[in-house]
Structure 1
Amino acid sequence: MRRCPLCTRNRVVNFYQDRKRHYFRCEECQLLFADASSHLPPSAEQSKYRQANSKQRPLQQFITSLVDQCQQQQSTPLVGLNFGRIADASTLANVEAQGHQLLQYDPFFAADHTLLQRQYDFICCYRVFEHFRFPHREWQLLCSLLKPGGWMAISTQLLTQLSGFEKWHHKDNLTHVSFYQRATFEFLANQANFRLLFAANDLILVQKPSESDITRDPSSSA
């Protein structure tokens, strides 16, 4: 029995198949995902990520925007985590010039696991969610890393119409294995009792409730 790699439910149905991959859809959380047998080997995946890390300007703008938003709500210095992609020295210097700190974790290029043992005021996830082979594990980790009241910014292309999947170029990158719809993030936010904002079709903001806002155990309805 196939289970969804995000919500772990078994309400998974066949969705689409092309010459390279077979895709499934979860009827519970609306995640679309590629068959694990088509995942690239780690060496090929790492090579493609090295090329992606060279494109810095969009990542820099993404981080700057998130820091600006967070510092409007918190006057004290912020400590953030850039998760899954590496920003260059100039981006880090710009954050530090504002009195804040940005640490970086990447499983291939900066795998400092001690950074996964603390919490952060904000977390940046720029073009990484689509690469998660086990999105349930990564989502649970990211939720645990976020301080109460903290923000997580997620940049990933959302599928707006199931009927358009066949021609959706986003699926053609073989490192992209998990595909999200608005309903997917609505499901996750509801389960975690997070505040959810769709700032754009490829920008999702979630805020962890402050300790005074927590009224139930987020796992109680899982």
Structure 2
Amino acid sequence: MVYVPTQFHIDPHAEKTVYDLHDNSDTNGYRKFLNRTAVPILDRLTPNSIGLDFGCGPNPVLAKIFTEHGHRMAVYDKFYATSAAPLLQKYDFITMTEVIEHIAKPIPVLETLFSCLNDDGILAVMTKRLTNQSAFKTWHYKNDPTHITFYSEKTFQWISAIYDLKIEIIDQDVVFLSKVSRI
């Protein structure tokens, strides 16, 4: 994992200002982007599953996609859906699309999310992965001032080993971390 030192983090007001500039409207292009995470999850879900869209933003399109497929959804976002109540529930799946790279202290957040997963639950993480440290200096993804942690496949393998999770590399930007049933 590569991270930005704390002294270079922008303040929360500036961070939200950057997020307010994002266009996350319910369009075919944005849905296509989100479906890179949604479709592989939908393929694994049983009917009427319950999910959490963690870091949903001001317009929770991903939650809407799952609802349209018959699943119940809760949402949480530190700026746009701030009630902590969803973080006290249990879920069959949790999504973090383009979220984890914004989190300064990811381990406590991940531990909270893992505690919210039912057995066999899936945490789906979408983030651009660092594939080559030598290319980091020219990598566009690091230039967003709100991106402060960067993950490689090895990072996710380490997380899965430490927390006894099954890891699935879905594609270049999507990783599933799943709890294993303890029967």
**Which residue of 149, 153, 157 maps to 1:186?**
157
CA contact (8 A) 2:120 2:179 kept: yes
Structure 2 counterpart SS, 1:104: strand
Give the corresponding residue for 1:78: 49
TM-score (norm 1): 0.74
Indicate yes or no: 2:35 matched with 1:61: yes
CA contact (8 A) 1:70 1:151 kept: no
Indicate yes or no: 2:143 matched with 1:172: yes
Cα displacement (A) at 1:199: 1.2
Indicate yes or no: 2:6 matched with 1:32: no
CA contact (8 A) 1:39 1:174 kept: yes
- The 5-angstrom pairing of residues 144-163 of structure 1 reads 144-163=115-134
| In structure 2, distance between residues paired with 1:102 and 1:137 | 23
Could you tell me the percent identity over the aligned residues? 26
Structure 1 counterpart SS, 2:43: helix
Structure 2 counterpart SS, 1:144: helix
CA contact (8 A) 1:123 1:151 kept: yes
CA contact (8 A) 2:56 2:62 kept: no
Q: Which has the higher contact order (CA 8 A, sep 6+)?
A: 2
Give the corresponding residue for 2:71: 100
- In structure 2, relative to structure 1, the CA distance for the partners of 1:87 and 1:81 (3 Å cut) is farther
Give the corresponding residue for 2:168: 197
TM-score (norm 2): 0.89
Structure 2 counterpart SS, 1:96: helix
Aligned length: 179
List alignment gaps of at least 5 residues for structure 1: 1-30, 213-222
| In structure 2, distance between residues paired with 1:80 and 1:190 | 24
List alignment gaps of at least 5 residues for structure 2: none
Cα displacement (A) at 1:94: 4.3
| In structure 2, distance between residues paired with 1:60 and 1:199 | 13
RMSD over aligned CA atoms reads 1.9
